[in-house]
Amino acid sequence: MLKLFKYFWLIGTLRQVAGVYRKEKGKPKPIFLSRRMIGAIFIAGSVMLARLADVEIGAKEVTQLSDYAFELIGGGYGLVMLMVGIWKREKSK
């Protein structure tokens, strides 16, 4: 079970888990190691914590959160791709 945490780390660092798992185990990765499943578990846990803390989230807040999430994802992706481009340029010199 503890060996699975290595794959969760790979998901968190946005690496390709499927290739690593297939190389080490010789079979396709299980469904619970997919990014979608990890994301769904993370969201479900966040919602449960919010409910336990009596945080009320209405339609207005959900709309704002989804707008912010898309902006953050887009900006984060742009920043990551910028860093990858600079790294590849420096590596090729």
pLDDT at residue 86 in the model: 87
For residues 77-91, one letter each, b for 16 or more C-beta atoms within 10 angstroms of the residue's C-beta and e for the rest, the string is eeeeeeeeeeeeeee
DSSP 47-90: HHHHHHTT----HHHHHHHHHHHHHHHHHHHHHHHHHHHHHHHH
Distance of alpha carbon 13 from alpha carbon 17, whole angstroms: 10
Does residue 1 or residue 69 have the better pLDDT? 69
Q: Is the dihedral of CA 8, 17, 40, 12 positive or negative?
A: positive
Q: Per residue in 10-46, pLDDT tens?
A: 666 656 777 777 888 888 877 777 777 777 888 888 8
Q: Per residue in 39-75, pLDDT tens?
A: 788 888 888 888 888 888 788 887 887 788 777 777 8
Show me where the domains of the chain are located.
4-92
